[in-house]
C-alpha cells in the first residue's frame, strides 16, 4: 500500500476540517515535502537537538523536524488549526504543541536549555521575532527561518548600504547571517505575492564588539536609527533626554563627528560611545 506524503496528508486534513486561511495571520503554508526536507537538512537539526518551531501551520515541517530532533516545541497562534494539527501529529510523541503568541510567550520556560529555531515565519512578525530571539539572552544555537525576500535583503544589509537599518545592525552584533535558498511563491499554499528566502542566523560565541554595558549599547544602537534624517547627536539627545551639547560632547570624546548620522557609524564606534557614557555616569 502506497504511503501518502505529509504534504498530501496536510492538504486532506485542511480540507476535511474546513480550514480557512487568514491573510492577517500571514498564513502561507509550505506543503512541499521536498523543500521541507531540504529546510530541515539545511538547519542541521540532529537527534540531540531541542527545536522551537514558530507557526507550524498544517504541521508538515513539524513532522519533518520531529523525525530528526530530540524534541520539538511548536507555537501556533491560530486555534482553528487545532484539529488539523491533532490529526497531523497523532502518534508523534516528541512534539509539544502550544497555542500561544510567540512574541509574548515565555520561551525560557518552554525550552529550558539550549535549542535551535526553525520556522516558516509569518512575515508580519519577522523583525519583532528576530529581535526577541537575539536579545533574549537564551541559549539559541541557530535560527533558521523563512522570510520575505525583501526582508532578507534588509536583514543582511551592511554599513553604507541603503537598506542598512536597526534590524541589520542588531543582527550584525549578535549573529552571523547567511542566505540558504530562495523559495518561489508557488511552493506555498496559498501562494504569497512575494518571493521568499531561507536564512540562517548563527549567534556568535564572542560578539564582534564588546561594550561594557550591553543594555546601554543596545539603547544607543536604537537611538542611532530612531530618526534617519537627524544627526546622531540629535537622536542621542532625544533618546537619553540630555542637552544636545552633552550628546555632542560624548561623541567628540570618542572621535565621532556629532553631525554624523547614526546609520553611517560603525558598531565598534557605537560601542566606544556607550562605554564613554558609562564612564560619565
* 57 known ligand binder: no
* 195 known ligand binder: no
**Residues forming a β-bridge with 172:** none
Q: What are the residue ranges of helices labelled H in the chain? A: 6-16, 33-43, 60-68, 82-88, 107-111, 126-135, 149-155, 166-174, 214-224, 232-240, 244-253, 267-279
CA distance 57 to 73: 13
- Residue 74 burial by Cβ neighbours in a 10 Å radius (0-12, 13-18, 19+): buried
CA 38 from centroid of its chain's CA atoms: 19
CA distance 263 to 36: 37
Segment 111-115 long-range contacts (CB within 8 Å, at least 24 positions apart) = 111/50, 111/52, 111/73, 111/138, 112/50, 113/50, 113/139, 114/50, 114/139, 114/140, 114/141, 115/49, 115/50, 115/51, 115/52, 115/73, 115/139, 115/140, 115/141
Q: What would you report as the CA-atom Rg of the chain, rounded to the nearest whole angstrom?
A: 21
Backbone angles phi, psi at 91, to 5 degrees: 85, -5
* 101 known ligand binder: yes
* 55 known ligand binder: yes
Query: Is the Cβ–Cβ distance between 29 and 188 less than 8 Å?
Result: yes
* 120 known ligand binder: yes
* 78 known ligand binder: no
Residues making up the binding site for S-adenosyl-L-methionine: 28, 30, 55, 76, 101, 120
Amino acid at each position: 500500500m502506497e504511503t501518502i506524503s505529509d504534504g498530501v496528508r496536510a492538504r486532506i486534513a485542511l480540507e476535511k476540517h474546513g480550514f480557512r486561511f487568514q491573510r492577517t495571520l500571514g498564513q502561507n503554508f509550505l506543503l512541499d515535502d521536498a523543500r521541507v526536507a531540504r529546510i530541515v537538512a539545511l538547519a542541521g537539526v540532529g537527534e540531540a537537538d531541542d527545536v522551537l518551531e514558530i507557526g507550524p501551520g498544517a504541521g508538515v515541517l513539524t513532522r519533518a523536524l520531529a523525525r530528526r530532533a530530540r524534541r520539538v516545541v511548536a507555537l501556533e497562534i491560530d486555534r482553528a488549526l487545532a484539529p488539523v494539527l491533532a490529526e497531523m501529529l497523532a502518534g508523534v510523541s516528541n512534539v509539544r504543541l502550544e497555542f500561544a503568541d510567540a512574541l509574548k510567550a515565555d520561551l525560557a520556560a518552554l525550552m529550558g536549555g539550549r535549542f535551535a529555531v526553525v520556522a516558516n515565519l509569518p512575515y508580519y512578525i519577522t523583525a519583532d521575532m528576530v529581535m526577541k530571539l537575539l536579545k533574549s539572552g537564551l541559549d539559541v544555537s541557530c535560527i533558521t527561518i523563512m522570510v520575505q525576500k525583501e526582508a532578507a535583503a534588509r536583514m543582511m544589509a551592511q554599513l553604507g548600504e541603503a537598506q542598512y537599518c536597526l534590524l541589520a545592525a542588531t543582527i550584525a552584533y549578535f549573529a552571523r547571517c547567511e542566505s540558504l535558498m530562495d523559495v518561489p511563491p508557488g511552493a506555498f499554499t496559498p501562494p504569497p505575492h512575494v518571493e521568499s528566502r531561507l536564512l540562517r542566523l548563527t549567534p556568535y560565541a564572542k560578539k564582534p564588539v564588546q561594550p561594557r554595558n550591553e543594555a546601554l549599547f543596545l539603547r544607543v544602537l536604537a537611538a542611532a536609527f530612531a530618526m534617519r534624517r537627524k544627526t546622531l547627536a540629535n537622536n542621542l539627545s532625544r533618546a537619553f533626554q540630555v542637552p544636545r551639547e552633552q550628546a555632542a560632547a560624548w561623541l567628540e570624546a570618542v572621535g565621532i563627528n556629532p553631525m554624523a548620522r547614526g546609520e553611517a557609524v560603525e558598531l565598534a564606534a557605537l560601542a566606544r560611545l556607550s562605554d564613554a557614557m558609562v564612564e560619565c555616569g
